[in-house]
Amino acid sequence: MFPRVRACVVSGLGRLPSCVNSKILGVTPALCKHQHRTISSESAGVKVLYDGLCPICVTEIRFLQFLQREKPKKVDFIDISLPGYDGEKYKGVSYEMAMEEMHVIDQKGMVHRGVPAFAVMYSAVGLGWLGRFMTWPPVRPFMDKSYAIFARNRLKWTGRGNECTTGRCEKKAH
């Protein structure tokens, strides 16, 4: 059974755009046509606030953008690292709040944080089963604990700990 699953996954990767494939292979690509960084507050159903300088976050957002390519503007991905980000446009979610943990604003304007935010986001791009699994009572405590550890350490794990202690994070110049 596992060889069949592996073959299915591997063959599925061949259908992803080259930027997604190269990300999986560890190569940094240029932006693809389905990728965009935005600070728009236009009328998308769900608004996902993410840190565009976090390589882990960006990889996930690019994958989610790929999943919603057939339904543009169903989800609006808002890069909080852009200079024009204004939390007042997004239900008062400040830059600092958004840096602490994932925030998603649903179609009704409700703000979700942490694991519930992932559930709303995944549901909006067609991965509702994953969101339901993450919030399923037997799994939820593990997800909450795991995400809390990730959120607390992601800046350090992505090499941005020192420059993110005050104010806005800045991308390291190498």
- Look at residue 16 and tell me if it is in a domain: no
- Look at residue 22 and tell me if it is in a domain: no
Q: What is the residue-averaged pLDDT of the chain? A: 78
Burial class (CB in 10 A: 0-12, 13-18, 19+), 21: middle
**What's the confidence (pLDDT) of residue 170?**
58
Share of the chain above pLDDT 70, in %: 67
What does pTM read for this prediction? 0.70
Q: With bands split at pLDDT 50, 70 and 90, how would you rate the model's confidence at 44?
A: low
**What's the confidence (pLDDT) of residue 158?**
86
Residue type, 119: A
C-alpha to C-alpha distance for 153 and 19, rounded to whole angstroms: 27
37 pLDDT more than 60 = no
CATH of the domain at 84: 3.40.30
150 pLDDT more than 50 = yes
Mean pLDDT score, 39-68: 84
Q: What is the DSSP string of 87-148?
A: GGGGTT--HHHHHHS-EEE-TTS-EEESHHHHHHHHHHTT-HHHHHHHHSTTTHHHHHHHHH
Q: What is the DSSP string of 39-97?
A: ----S-SEEEEE-TT-HHHHHHHHHHHHHTTTSTTSEEEEETTSTT--GGGGTT--HHH
C-alpha to C-alpha distance for 25 and 22, rounded to whole angstroms: 5
pLDDT (tens digit, 9 = 90+) per residue, 95-126? 999 999 999 999 999 999 999 999 999 999 99
- Look at residue 7 and tell me if it is in a domain: no
Domain that holds residue 57: 35-160
Residue 38 DSSP one-character state:
B
Number of structural domains, the chain?
1
Residue type, 8: C
174 pLDDT more than 80 = no
